[in-house]
Amino acid sequence: MLISKKSCLFFLLLFKLIINLLAEKVEQLMEWSSRRSVIRMNGDKFRRFVKAPPRNYSVIVMFTALQPQRQCSVCRQANEEYQVLANSWRYSSAFSNKLFFTIVDYDEGADVFQQLNMNSAPTFMHFPPKGKPKRADTFDLQRIGFAAEQLAKWIADRTDVHIRVFRPPNYSGTIALALLVSLVGGLLYLRRNNLEFIYNKTGWAMAALCVVFAMTSGQMWNHIRGPPYAHKNPQNGQVSYIHGSSQAQFVAESHIILLLNAAITMGMVLLNEAATSKGDVGKRRSKLFSVICRISEFYFLKAF
């Protein structure tokens, strides 16, 4: 009976210690969140507040490399979206101590990257209140992109916390559109007595080609998904412009496809000009074969 009482007393003290430790951790995280929506962490803070129990809250961690010497432009773009999402959560009416947003920079927590066997940035991970992160707790940035709305949807799937994204007003698009309309209106007004250029087939053809190039190169997919321009490995500095998976792409791939489509179109235009230009038939035929040879040589060099 005496041993049983001692055991109960021991477990009560242990339980109280755990409760106090948990309350201290939550209080500290709430204090940091009140100062800044995204909490910066080094290796020690990460191990204490994210990895070590007890923990009754979820933590979203962005692993990144924001220092200028790392030259990670994608990290800066992803960080902007992450800040928008964290601010939307911090200043929403549903804000609570059940979810915290943190960031670990490579230059401040290289040991954390090594501990998690992480060799790329940026990476988003969810650390649940209990247990270790599963495969689905790592955000598929390469396939989905890093837009704040996509991150919010992923967080809702992992934590049941729904965040409504509020973006600060951006009038740059409206201003640019107003300037464009004013420029076109001013041009039409100055040329009001001579509007024959509106019926210029070449001008409309070039405009149509620009739209076709933008659509067929994947620019709309980039606009919707928000993928990075390229990927730079923080370990060896190697830059990849073409994605390794058929389910995703980089912005650089769209530019490459756009240039190739433009080259094909230019080749067809040159062929048409060579075949329909006035002059000696023999010279036209020679010019046509010359253009074909140049185009063939261009694609041969591109292929090999």
Q: Residue 124 sits in a domain of what CATH number? A: 3.40.30.10
Domain count, the chain: 2
**Residues 9, 143: one domain?**
yes
**Residues 62, 127: one domain?**
yes
Instruction: Tell whether 181 is covered by a domain.
Output: no
Instruction: Tell whether 170 is covered by a domain.
Output: no
Give the residue numbers spanning the domain of 204.
200-302
For residues 210 and 212, give the distance between their C-alpha atoms in angstroms, rounded to a whole number: 5
Of 129, 159, 189, the one marking the end of a domain is: 159
Q: Where does residue 215 rank: exposed (0-12), middle (13-18), buried (19+ CB within 10 A)?
A: exposed
**Residues 151, 255: one domain?**
no
136: DSSP letter: G
Tell me the residue type at 13.
L
The total number of residues shown for the chain amounts to 304
**Residues 235, 94: one domain?**
no
Place of tokens 């070449």: 202
For residues 23 and 30, give the distance between their C-alpha atoms in angstroms, rounded to a whole number: 10
Place of tokens 């010359």: 290
Instruction: Tell whether 32 is covered by a domain.
Output: yes
Q: What is the crossing angle of helices 281-303 and 251-276, to 10°?
A: 160
113 within 8 A of 194, measured Cβ to Cβ: no
State residue 11's pLDDT score. Answer: 62
**Closest-CA residue to 111 (of 39, 51, 42):** 42
Residue 60, φ and ψ in degrees, nearest 5: -100, 125
For residues 243 and 283, give the distance between their C-alpha atoms in angstroms, rounded to a whole number: 45
For residues 62 and 127, give the distance between their C-alpha atoms in angstroms, rounded to a whole number: 11
pLDDT in tens, 199-257: 777 777 778 877 777 777 677 777 666 677 777 776 677 787 877 766 677 888 888 87
pLDDT in tens, 244-291: 766 677 888 888 877 887 777 777 777 676 666 665 555 655 655 665
Report angle CA 178, 181, 182 to the nearest 5 degrees: 85
Q: Give residue 5's pLDDT band: very low, low, confident or very high (50, 70, 90).
A: low
168 within 8 A of 83, measured Cβ to Cβ: no
Q: Give residue 79's pLDDT band: very low, low, confident or very high (50, 70, 90).
A: very high
Compute the average pLDDT of residues 71-78.
Answer: 85
**Closest-CA residue to 166 (of 81, 96, 71):** 81
The sign of the torsion formed by the CA atoms of 246, 252, 256, 261 equals positive
Of 140, 159, 178, the one marking the end of a domain is: 159
Residue 102, φ and ψ in degrees, nearest 5: -135, 170
Provide the percentage of residues in the chain whose pLDDT is more than 90.
27
**Residues 27, 96: one domain?**
yes
Instruction: Tell whether 143 is covered by a domain.
Output: yes
Residue 241, φ and ψ in degrees, nearest 5: -100, -15
